[in-house]
Structure 1
Amino acid sequence: MAELDITRPEVILFLNEAYEKEKRLRSYWVSKHKAQIQLAATLTREPTHYYEQDVTKHAMIEGMATITRDHKVSIRNRRKIPIRDAKSIPGIERLRHEHSLINLGVGNAKEDPRLARPDTDLSPDPVMRPIDPKTLKIFFKPKPHFGREKYLNARAKIQPEKKYYLPECVSWDHGWRMCDSKKPGKAMYGRNWILQKTLRNRVGPARDPDHYKIPTSSGYEKC
């Protein structure tokens, strides 16, 4: 891994945030274990009456399990080459055939050059989609208007399917590619808030429709 160039502005901002985070974690740990630290510093705890041979005995007991593991016979057995049926596995060059992100229709080699690989390349496909350069610039700008928190807030507003190629956990199954689904229509026999609609409309309560009336039976009155 190449060494970081500490003269670059974005590296300096990253190191400053890392140092601040480490300082907060150390101060939190000291405040949380303040009582134990004071107890260890005052030396008022009860004596354990341990001697040097007791410490050596404890270390020897813990190391007894490694004697069998690190014995010369065990080392010789581990160095033996296992017997294999064949020197190579046939069909390994077609292992990625029709199973890559491009074949599944999830990724595009023009948008992500990392996907443009031959079928003989067995390295795993990338998990995350390429980050927008405009969003990535937020991470390297100075605080407080930019920085790590602003970058995470901007990334949180992006849909998961636009950040990752495939769901990475079970909780992502609910709502994954929700934009592809249609909005459910109004239920035909759903519950209607008739009283609320009539009292809050601009004309006030209206009379019942004609189909609410009691049906009249045909008789001499209609003759």
Structure 2
Amino acid sequence: MPLIDFTDPAVIKFLVENYDRTARLRMKWNAFYGSKLQEAATLSRPEKGYTTYDVFKETMRGGMPAIRRDHITAGRNRKCIPLRDGAHIPAVADMKKGHSIVEVGLGDSEEDPRLARPDTDLSIDPLMRVIDPEQREMIYKELPFYGRKVYLKSRSKIPPEKKYYFSECSAWDYGWRLKDSYFSKNQPSYGRVWRLYRDVRNRSGPHPDPAHYNSAEIPNVNKCPK
């Protein structure tokens, strides 16, 4: 949009007329409603001289009866004997029964003596499995055929579930216990399967992950147990 040429006499005449019209409208409005505006701006009630402190004081005074009532009720409740809903409250020792690493089937107490503990032992479960003595000896043997790099290289060839009892980081979510998946149990005995190529080229296209791949959902009002 081009800019207005304020030097044009026609534009100057148009602006002057609009300014005059706006001024006349303002004067007309003040003539009609000036008295009402003056009446609304004038304090008609007697001034009591209240301050901010007086307002806060009256607000606090109004809440004092409720504070006095609650104090009496709290003093009466403090003298009452608390009721116990149950004679026994489950703790960590009760949660370990039936849920230990040995009972779940993730470890063996003969291979790892640290797992042979009573239910009263509340110490933390071990994170790593027992290291093979032959691999551990690689660290203490001479270079270049042994040492720290050779030890770490040999450990990297072992699946994570063979080194740890549980998945310790989010990077292990993909590939953890891969042999228990559907694809490993139904893999062909001979040859290779180009699964992605086959799914893309087929008539129905690639399919989503199976239902057992999804995370467990917490029951709520929308998902009632059947």
Calculate the TM-score normalised by the size of structure 2. 0.42
Tell which structure's C-alpha radius of gyration is larger.
2
More relative contact order in 1 or in 2 (CA 8 Å, sep 6+)?
Answer: 1
